[in-house]
Amino acid sequence: MSDFKETVEGTLHAERNEKLKKVKKGPSLLSIVAKGLWKENPGLCQLLGMCPLLAVTTTAASALGLGIATTLVVVLSSLIISLLRHFILREVRIPIYVALIATLVTVVRFEVEAYFPALYDQLGIYLSLIVTNCIIMGRAEAFAGRNGPLSSAVDALSCGIGFSLVLFVLGSIREILGSGTFFMGASELLGPWAQALEVHLLNESATYLIAILPPGGFFILAMLIAFKNALELRSKNKQDKKLRIKARQI
């Protein structure tokens, strides 16, 4: 009886140690990517960065340009903050984060203004407002300040790409429905080779002006969120059905 008790206690102790190791090790890179791109997408789940999400996504090109700039800033800021996390005092971390992010945004704004003047004119003040984007500060506070450089960079990159995809899809739908075009201005963002991507799909008489107005942005974003929730609910129902079938077989 004592041997059995010792065996059980040893097994429980080993399981407890494995759980503690997993907690110390942190989430895997694959789970971090899945959260940033889909499960906890900043634009569809957390609803962060709503100001540029609805104001700049009137065309696919401007949406993609802002998405690339935001991704660049969030990756660089998260990487630097993760490297310096042991040297930043907790009491003054927020002002330091803001100063770092503001510096990076200023550099990115000057680069866009110098090399992509047309895109700079389209984005306007929203390029400078990346400083106040909750996605960047959120990743710095919730992840980069508590994890290593590699995990922080992967987390920032996945969140940036996820946010950029939402911007691009939203901008594409609004541009097609509101202007009848797709990816107009791509050559100014990506180079002359992208001029072949600029197409006219609908006549002006078949377009809907509300699509490129702020209310249209809210409607289309709500539809995208509903579509994502429907897919997740369908996947959950399939898993529950499989579990019920296995339970009956047992």
The angle, 0 to 180 degrees and rounded to 10, between the axes of the packed helices 93-115 and 60-83 is 140
Question: What are the pLDDT digits (tens) for 37-53?
Answer: 988 898 888 887 787 77
pTM of the complete model: 0.83
Structure tokens at 92: 């003054």
**How does pLDDT run across 6-33, given as a tens digit for each residue?**
544 554 455 555 555 544 556 788 999 9
Question: Which pLDDT belongs to residue 220?
Answer: 93
Residue 46 forms part of a structural domain:
yes
pLDDT digits (tens, 9 = 90+) for 95-107: 999 999 999 999 9
Residue 144: CB partners within 8 Å, gap ≥ 6?
Answer: 77, 78, 79, 81, 82, 85, 152, 155, 156
Average pLDDT over residues 227-239: 89
pLDDT of residue 132: 79
User: Which domain covers residue 244, as residue numbers?
Assistant: 28-249
Q: Is residue 13 included in any domain, yes or no?
A: no
Assess if residue 20 is contained within a domain. Answer: no
Q: Give the pLDDT confidence score for residue 5 in this predicted structure.
A: 46
Segment 169-181 mean pLDDT: 94
Question: For residue 227, is pLDDT > 90?
Answer: yes
173 membership: H or E segment, kind and range: helix 149-179
> In percent, how much of the chain has pLDDT > 90?
45
Question: Which pLDDT score, from 0 to 100, does residue 246 have?
Answer: 64
59 touches 122 (CB < 8 A) = yes
pLDDT for 100 equals 94
- The answer as to whether 48 is a domain residue is yes
Answer yes or no: is 42 within a domain.
yes
In a domain, 154, yes or no: yes
- pLDDT over 50 at 244, yes or no: yes
> Quick one: how many helices (H) and strands (E) in the chain?
11, 2
Residue 1 falls within a domain, yes or no? no
**Can you tell me the mean pLDDT for 232-236?**
89
On the question of pLDDT at 151 being above 70, the answer is yes
Average pLDDT, the chain: 85
8 located within any domain: no
CA distance 95 to 103: 12
- Tens digit of pLDDT for each residue in 178-192? 999 999 988 888 888
The number of distinct structural domains making up the chain is 1
Burial 39-62 (b: 16+ CB within 10 A, else e): eebbbbbeebbeebbbbbbbbbbb
Name which of 21-35, 129-143, 159-173, 213-227 the model is least confident about: 21-35
Mean of pLDDT values over 152-169: 94
Condensed to tens digits (0 to 9), the pLDDT of residues 68-103 reads 999 999 999 999 999 999 999 888 999 999 999 999
CB-CB contact of 61 with 124 (8 Å)? no
pLDDT at 49: 78
